[in-house]
Amino acid sequence: MSDERRAAIALEHVSKFFGTRQVLRDVSLEVERGEAVCILGRSGTGKSVTLKLMISLLKPDTGHVWIGDEDIAQLNAEGLSRVRRKMGFLFQSAALFDSLTLHGNLALPLHRLTHKSKAEIEETIERVLGEVGLAGDKNKMPVELSGGMKKRAGLARAMVLDPEILLIDEPSSGLDAITAEEIDDLLLRQKILQKTTMVIVTHDVRGARRVGDRFAVLDQGNLIGPCRPAELEHHESEIVRKLVAEH
């Protein structure tokens, strides 16, 4: 691909099948650097699949997924590892390593992927845990954390390497309104202060409006949009209007 590619993330005519079931149909999407794009949609429409394609946890059956100038589906293990180092991923379930403490969860990528000294690693962990409000919980095991704390811990792990791109899967699912708002605040701060590119998959339209610059809607594997927040209520697509009206 050309060196002129500017978007941080680009999906080009991506389709994805699971067996005979087509989950994504010819999806194209560009996310500019420093931009936050929210992907909305009903359950089972392929939102999480889209996110996993962006970090190559899944491969597209057709089409291309570009991270900067690199088609990640075509990269070898070394190249993929290099690209992934620029990315952070918050899983819907947080996916904390349950055999490690919160500190261990954050220390693992720092030990393996950076050349930081032990003191620098400790300082980084303290700083990131402080940012997500978990500074006093670093020695807890994941099983000791509440749902909201797990989400924040997962976000801390996703941010610990200061990624250029954050992929966030359902940041507020299963959380009360106040905790969900705290998570949104964290994302907003990350976007403004660090200029981090974000793709957020969510059901929470109110939260998405706070953090997102543009919105896309997935409906039966088809991507609608992206569009600006103000265009949502009057969008030509009925499913977009319905999704917004539900909130």
**Sites of contact with other proteins (CB under 8 A):** 52, 55, 57, 77, 80-82, 84-85, 87-89, 91-93, 95-99, 108-109, 112-113, 157
**Residue with Cβ nearer other proteins (89 or 215):** 89
Look at phi and psi of residue 132 and say left if phi exceeds 0, alpha if psi is from -120 to 50, else beta: alpha
Least distance CB 52 / other proteins (angstroms): 7
- Nearest alpha-carbon partner for 121 in 138, 131, 136, 106: 106
* Distances 28 to 88, 93, 214 between C-alpha atoms, Å: 22, 27, 14
- Identity of the residue, 58 or 186, whose beta carbon is nearer to other proteins in the bound complex: 58
Residue with tokens 């990350």: 190
CA 241 to centroid of chain Cα atoms: 24
User: Least CB distance from residue 142 to other proteins, whole Å?
Assistant: 10
Other Cβ atoms within 10 Å of 62 Cβ, number: 13
For other proteins, the closer of residues 88 and 225 by Cβ is 88
Say whether the peptide bond before residue 229 is cis (omega within 30 degrees of 0): no
Among candidates 203, 191, 169, which has minimal Cα distance to 94? 169
Closer residue to other proteins in complex, CB, 84/152: 84
Please measure the distance between the N-terminal and C-terminal CA atoms of the chain and give it in whole angstroms.
41
- Closest separation in Å from C-beta 233 to other proteins: 34
Q: Which is nearer to other proteins, 98 or 246 (CB)?
A: 98
Pick from 60, 92, 47: which is nearest to 223 by CA?
47
Provide the minimum distance between the beta carbon of 112 and other proteins in the complex, in angstroms, as a whole number.
6
**Which CB, 94 or 175, lies closer to other proteins?**
94
Q: How far is the CB of 81 from other proteins (least distance, A)?
A: 4
Smallest distance, Å, CB 243 to other proteins? 25
